[in-house]
Structure 1
Amino acid sequence: MNMVTYYQNWVSQLLEEYQFEYPWIPCTSILCGIFTCRIVYNLSQLISGICFKHYPTLPKMKQVEWDNRAISTLHAIFITALSIYLAFWSDLFSDDLQRGPVLYRSSASSSFVLGVSVGYFLSDLAMIFWFYPALGGMEYVFHHLLSMGALAYGMLTGLGQFYAYMVLLSETTTPGINLRWYLDAVGMKKSKAYVFNGVAIFLTWLVARILLFMYVFYHLYVHYDQIKQLPLFGYYLVLIAPCVLGGLNLMWFSKITKGMIKTLATKMD
């Protein structure tokens, strides 16, 4: 029995104990995410109507999108902060070999955070379907389903959580994208703030969705001996999900780059 197999059996036993000791985490965390989304949506309706003079004048569907983007912005800030902490600052996924293979590490807190994020994606997906296609087309549906499946797998099994948090770091770009939409909605598309925002989106997207994914692919290559020990579904999920999401990121990055170049060229003229 090699080292990886030994630790896999050890973690499997640990996960059984974890499920027995913390059976409330999956459902509670998902419900917490859904409930929080509902509260933020209602608060956005209330606060935006008071603090932003343009909000009441927007068409009903734009008001819905305004409040929906408030939810995604809060989720992005929450998940980015915790992903950075759990992936880099805590010792959960450190290079300490005595803690076992990094793919098999998890904790109650890391699983709970993933569940909250699953609750967000469920809520957002429900809104996308309800108002389809006003809040996004099939590429968003596909993105959410794949992300939600990967996060739910990591939450329920405790496997591959490091990669789940690496992928979640791509949410760093969401506040800037939402701010761009808000600036457009209130008639500030020709302002300097809109131009600066476009450059900021380009830079954060380059770091969080291009360079970071290159690191993820390198990490997958280095730790392939652990990946091939995963159950068949987990094996394909860990390999395929980053590739598909990386492809979507490249597609959107090309559009962002073209848009930024066009905007800068217009300003220079």
Structure 2
Amino acid sequence: MAIQSYESYDMLLKQFLLPHPFVPYISMLVGMFASKLVYDLNHLLSAAYFKSYSNLSKMQRIEWNNRAISTVHALFITAMSLYLVFWSDLYSDQQLNAFVTLQSSPLSTFALGVSVGYFLTDLGMIFWFYPALGGLEYVVHHLLSVASVAYAMLTGEGQLYTYMVLISETTTPGINLRWYLDTTGMKGSRTYLINGVVIFIAWLVARILLFMYLFYHLYLHYQQVKQMHIIGKFLAFGVPPILAVMNVMWFGKIFKGLKKTLAKSQ
């Protein structure tokens, strides 16, 4: 194998470090700018086309627009993650010229940078309006996300596992839609019921089963992962289990909520 021609892992890492040093920083700015743009556009459109928007409190309008940002980011990063993980050859085991933990591209790095820009923007809003936009669990989630995504973006290490975790963002649009329905007085509607079922299924697949696959993939590639930088190893072996525990706890709440909703609909 070509990989055997390298004398050390450090040489291999240097060989595959990002060839475009400005991509991470430009993409983060794009993420922040896009977040601001979505916030402002959503404010204008909602005020013009949703009568209930003007009846909301100031904090509810802020959260309404904030959730629009997270929805757009979730759609973007889910599409990129699914493509890069399952449809592209970027992280394929058939790539014999590098460890799977080192494979990256300008596109994969740019997408991660956009995500970092979003998480930083959202984290700033959470701190500014704390705890109205989310409590301690949201702060922990975002700090772990920023650390993991930024590291993968800046070094090119472990991007595959970062994207596997980011696929879990596929549940965000459903969660946000549920908040919108609740806020606009549609909690008793059929749409609200269907939304709960969709969230339950999406959460099970994207945040429970997919994490099991992630842990299995880490096990299969343990010899490669253990040669990552110490920070990379900590993020690969430490962050997913923490997020997995949080996902299971939230899944329990979602299951209980769905049971109550189904019971009321009968």
Shorter-chain TM-score: what band?
A: over 0.9
Q: 1:217-253: CA deviations, max 9, x gaps?
A: 1001111101111111111111001000111100100
Which amino acid counterpart does residue 14 of structure 1 have in structure 2?
Q
Structure 1 position 13, deviation (Å): 2.3
User: Do 1:93 and 1:105's aligned partners in 2 also have CA atoms closer than 8 Å?
Assistant: yes
Stretches of structure 2 that go unaligned for 5 or more consecutive residues are: none
Report the TM-score when normalising by structure 1: 0.95
Aligned residue pairs, count: 264
Mapping 1:213-228, distance limit 5 Å: 213-228=211-226
* 8 Å CA contact 1:4, 1:226 repeated in 2: no
Of 150, 153, 159 in structure 2, the residue corresponding to residue 152 of structure 1 is: 150
Q: CA deviation at 1:88?
A: 1.1
2:90, 2:103 within 8 Å by CA — same for their partners in 1? yes
- Structure 1, gaps ≥5 residues long: none
- The one-letter amino acid paired with 2:104 is S
**Aligned residue among 162, 172, 181 for 1:174:** 172
- Show CA shifts across 1:129-182 (max 9, x none): 011000000100000000110000100110000000000000000000000000
Conserved in 2, the CA contact under 8 Å of 1:122 and 1:148?
yes
Q: Secondary structure at the match of 2:51?
A: coil
Paired with 1:39 and 1:7, the residues of 2 have a C-alpha distance of 45
Following superposition, the deviation at residue 4 of structure 1 comes to 9.8
Aligned counterparts of 1:253 and 1:4: Cα–Cα separation in 2: 47
User: Is the contact between residue 151 and residue 157 of structure 2 (CA under 8 Å) also seen in structure 1?
Assistant: yes
* Contact 1:41/1:71, CA 8 A, preserved across alignment: yes
* Contact 1:7–1:100 (CA under 8 A) maintained in structure 2: no
Structure-1 residue corresponding to 2:14:
13
Rounded to whole Å, the distance in 2 between the matches of 1:104 and 1:36 is 28
2:4, 2:185 → 1: CA distance? Answer: 60
Number of the residue aligned with 1:257: 255
Amino acid at match of 2:100: V
Give 2:91's aligned residue: 93
TM-score (norm 2): 0.96
Q: Render the CA deviation track for 1:161-215: whole Å, top value 9, x for unaligned.
A: 0000000000000000000000011100000100110000000000000000000
What's the offset of the Cα at 1:94? 1.1
CA distance in 2: counterparts of 1:3 and 1:166, whole angstroms: 28
| Counterpart in the other structure of 2:203 | 205
- The corresponding residue for 1:230 is 228
RMSD: 1.5
Cα gap change, 1:10 to 1:262, in 2 (>3 Å): same
Name the aligned partner's letter for residue 69 of structure 2: I
Shift of 1:22: 1.7
Cα distance between partner residues in 2 of 1:5 and 1:125? 41
Against the structure 1 CA distance between its residues 60 and 4, is the aligned structure 2 distance closer, same or farther, given a 3 Å change threshold? farther
1:184 alignment partner, one of 173, 177, 182: 182
1:104 Cα deviation from its structure 2 partner = 1.0
**Secondary structure of the equivalent of 2:193?**
helix
**Structure 2 residue identity aligned to 1:8:** Y
Whether the aligned pair in 1 keeps the contact of 2:81 and 2:163 (CA below 8 Å) is yes
Question: Aligned partner of 1:11: which letter?
Answer: L
- Counterparts of 1:263 and 1:58 in 2: how far apart (Å)? 25
Instruction: Verify the 8 A CA contact 1:4 1:229 in the aligned structure 2.
Output: no
Which one of 21, 30, 33 corresponds to residue 31 of structure 2? 33
Measured against aligned partners, the alpha-carbon deviations of 1:239-269 in whole angstroms (never above 9, x if no partner) come to: 001000111100100000000001111111x
Paired letter, 1:28: I
**Out of 57, 60, 63, which is 1:59 matched to?**
57
